[in-house]
Amino acid sequence: MRRLSAYAVLALVWLLHVLPLALQAALGRGAGRLLYRFAHGRREVALRNVELCLPELAQGERESLVREHFQWLGRSLVERGLLWYARPERLRRLIHVEGDVGLAERSERPVMWLVPHFMALDVAGASTQLFQKRWVASIYQAQSNPVLDAAVRRGRLRYGGGEIFSRHESALPLVRAIKRGAAFFNLPDMDFGLRDSAFVPFFGVPAATLLAPSRLARSLKMIVQPIVAETLPGGQGYKVRFLPPWDDWPSADAEADARRMNAWIETEIRRDPAQYLWVHKRFKSRPPGAPPVY
């Protein structure tokens, strides 16, 4: 039954991708309104995250922000078919890239892209294969449903410009790919537990933050370039900003680097708070003796 349901979902996603983006956007925002109403657990997580991270907002403002967030979330789900099935020519028209998208392609040193979890994250991933020619390596979270997992893998690899590695496997294949010349598309801002993490502030709240990005970049002498992706209103498409590389990161202090990385992500969230992934339990791991927040 789970497989049949997954095939039905994928069939719907395929059918939706042929629609004009403006219509997909309207359907996605409608789906997001339904999610806000019925996905009680995720709604409460998002509200709690916003309460912790943006305490200056009144309760009504927090609820309004989360309601808007769910509409962007709905869009990201409905429009996934564009990334998985649309012709590359169509995607190149819809994705507007800014900044030095060709840095990794020209660089003699390996490049790490730091990409926080905004709603258009997968658009950023597609842009690294559609607008430059350097081989791309990334890590992905395996899906529990094998049909959906296979669809995710096919969708992310269909451009023929990269490879992905499971988060649950050894890091050695990823390191080998980087040493062979791949650019690393790195997602650094989720709570993956205490392994290779430190509790550093995220909007003033201790958050388990990966030290691996700094350590890997330092050990492989990588250039670190941040990327931020944004979904534009209606049928306008998406914007992916390839920002200037950091000239003083990584340092010899991985924990200090994690602090600076979180501070940068905070700045980007304040630019567009509704499009950040608030439904993730960012503060699931807690320092010793600290009470749970969810």
Contact 115, 227 (CB under 8 A): yes
First and final C-alpha spacing in the chain: 32
Largest CA distance in the chain: 53
User: What pLDDT is stored for residue 254 in this prediction?
Assistant: 97
Mean pLDDT score, 152-177: 89
Average pLDDT of span 76-103: 96
pLDDT tens column, 111-134: 999 999 999 999 999 999 999 999
The predicted-structure confidence for 46-59, as pLDDT tens digits, reads as follows 999 999 999 999 99
278 near 36, Cβ under 8 Å? no
Q: Is the pLDDT of residue 3 over 80?
A: no
Residue 1 pLDDT exceeds 70: no
What is the rounded average pLDDT for all residues in the chain? 95
Average pLDDT over every residue of 65-89: 96
Task: Provide the CB-side half-sphere exposure for 240 (13 A, CA).
Answer: 29
| Whether the predicted pLDDT of 145 surpasses 90 | no
Q: What are the boundaries of each domain within the chain?
A: 88-275
pLDDT tier for residue 169 given thresholds of 50, 70 and 90: confident
Which of 27-36, 108-117, 118-127, 135-144 has the weakest average pLDDT?
135-144
Angle (deg, nearest 10), helices 146-157 and 2-17: 30
Task: Specify the pLDDT at position 144.
Answer: 82
Helix/strand/coil for 19: coil
Give the count of alpha carbons within 13 A of 49, CB side only. 26
pLDDT at 148: 86
- Report pLDDT for 97: 98
Tell me which residue of 131, 122, 184, 121 sits closest to 151, measured CA to CA.
122
The Cα–Cα gap between 76 and 56 comes to 28
Per-residue pLDDT at 61 exceeds 80: yes
